[in-house]
């Protein structure tokens, strides 16, 4: 059910904070009426039936729309339809696409991930529709690679769960090699500054940084404590804060899986039968 709702949702963000898509004084019905007017003006007669089932107001002035069907959502996301809708809407805004990331292991480091033509070639070699791959990036910064490193892990952003599942199920072919992607799982967030959970470095309120290895007040690269470990979260001296077997990390991951059951699934949920 959650997957079906997600496929019917569209995120609309304002281009400027000065022109939000909703105000405190507007009723939900007024917002829906404005959006439906733009949709009805923009759509031709052969378009699918489109209706707004619910809206969610966002703090940045944006909206999440839940439409009546995934067909309606896909139609509104298409290039010309999207442009026509936004023009009629008048408020400067953009439709944000929803992506389905996969982890591609052992990809040759010579692969030009930023080259759109290369992405189109990957789509063709793997029987995907054009533009099924929105983008790709290396997981580890290029400058941190080993001198003779030949392969690395990458994240591919797919525009549909079906395309992502196809590569997970069938594998990804490139240069006559077959790679085996996996779905990118949600992971607990750990701060790179204080090493505690639930926020990232730019939001950290801690008065000082903490070493991920020994737990003292310095960065990891400045650590001189050989084989000295201290986990900030567990307050234990038998492992570091980034240890993959850290009890606190394992509990956080289990809690996340309980909150998002689809996280434990090897594929992205769809209406398809496997």
Distances (CA, A) of 244 to 65, 232, 247: 38, 14, 9
* Domain end call among 66, 96, 126: 96
Confidence of residue 17 (pLDDT cuts 50, 70, 90): confident
Cβ atoms within 10 A of the Cβ of 235, count? Answer: 9
Q: Are 213 and 223 in contact (CB under 8 A)?
A: yes
Residues 40 and 125 in one domain: no
Q: Are 93 and 15 in contact (CB under 8 A)?
A: yes
Per the DSSP assignment, residues forming a β-bridge with 55 are: 65
Tokens of 135: 């983008």
Residues 87 and 1 in one domain: yes
What's residue 240's pLDDT?
96
Enumerate helices (H) and strands (E) in the chain, giving the number of each. Answer: 7, 10
Distances (CA, A) of 37 to 30, 34, 192, 222, 258: 11, 5, 47, 60, 40
pLDDT at 271 over 70: no
Q: Are 266 and 228 in contact (CB under 8 A)?
A: no
| Calpha distance 55→36 (Å, rounded) | 12
What's residue 6's pLDDT?
79
Q: Is 257 exposed, middle or buried (0-12, 13-18, 19+ CB in 10 A)?
A: middle
Confidence of residue 1 (pLDDT cuts 50, 70, 90): low
Residues 23 and 56 in one domain: yes
* Domain end call among 149, 184, 219: 184
What's residue 37's pLDDT?
93
What's residue 98's pLDDT?
82
Distances (CA, A) of 165 to 152, 157, 224, 265: 21, 12, 45, 11
Q: Are 208 and 217 in contact (CB under 8 A)?
A: yes
Tokens of 199: 């926020």
Per-chain mean pLDDT for the chain = 92
- Average confidence (pLDDT) over 96-103: 90
Q: Are 155 and 101 in contact (CB under 8 A)?
A: yes
* Domain end call among 184, 209, 237: 184
What's residue 44's pLDDT?
83
pLDDT tens string 197-225 = 999 998 999 999 999 999 999 999 899 98
Residues 15 and 70 in one domain: yes
Residues 190 and 233 in one domain: yes
Residues 205 and 163 in one domain: no
pLDDT tens string 29-47 = 999 999 999 999 988 888 8
| Calpha distance 83→19 (Å, rounded) | 18
CATH code for the domain of 51? 3.30.70.330
Residues 112 and 176 in one domain: yes
Q: Are 105 and 43 in contact (CB under 8 A)?
A: no
Domain that holds residue 130: 100-184
pLDDT tens string 104-144 = 999 999 999 999 999 999 999 999 998 899 999 999 999 98
Residues 47 and 10 in one domain: yes
pTM over 0.85: no
> Cα angle vertex 163, ends 158, 169, to 5°?
120
Backbone φ/ψ region at 80: left (φ over 0), alpha (ψ -120 to 50), beta = alpha
Residues 148 and 210 in one domain: no
What percent of the chain clears pLDDT 90, i.e. is strictly above it?
73
pLDDT at 54 over 70: yes
Residues 3 and 92 in one domain: yes
| Calpha distance 14→96 (Å, rounded) | 10
């Amino acid at each position: 059910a959650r997957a079906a709702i997600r496929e019917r949702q569209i995120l609309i963000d304002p281009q400027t904070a000065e022109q939000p898509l909703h105000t405190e004084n507007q009723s939900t019905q007024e917002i829906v009426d404005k959006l439906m007017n733009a949709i009805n003006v923009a759509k031709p007669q052969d378009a699918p039936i489109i209706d707004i089932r619910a809206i969610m107001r966002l703090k940045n002035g944006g909206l999440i729309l839940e439409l009546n069907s995934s067909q309606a959502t896909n139609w509104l996301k298409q290039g010309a339809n999207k442009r026509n809708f936004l023009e009629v809407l008048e408020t400067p805004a953009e439709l944000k696409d929803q992506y389905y990331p996969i982890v591609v292991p052992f990809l040759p480091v010579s692969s030009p991930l930023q080259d759109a033509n290369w992405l189109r070639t990957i789509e063709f070699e793997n029987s995907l529709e054009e533009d099924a791959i929105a983008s790709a990036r290396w997981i580890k910064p290029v400058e941190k690679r080993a001198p003779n490193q030949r392969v690395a892990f990458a994240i591919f952003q797919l525009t549909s769960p079906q395309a992502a599942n196809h590569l997970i199920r069938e594998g990804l072919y490139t240069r006559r090699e077959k790679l085996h992607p996996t779905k990118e799982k949600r992971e607990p967030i750990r701060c790179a500054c204080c090493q505690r959970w639930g926020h990232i470095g730019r939001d950290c309120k801690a008065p000082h940084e903490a070493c991920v290895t020994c737990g003292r007040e310095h960065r990891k690269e400045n650590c001189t404590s050989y084989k000295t470990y201290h986990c900030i979260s567990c307050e234990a001296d038998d492992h570091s804060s980034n240890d993959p077997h850290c009890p606190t990390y394992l509990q956080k991951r289990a809690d996340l899986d309980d909150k998002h059951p689809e996280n434990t699934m090897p594929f992205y949920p769809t209406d398809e039968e496997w």
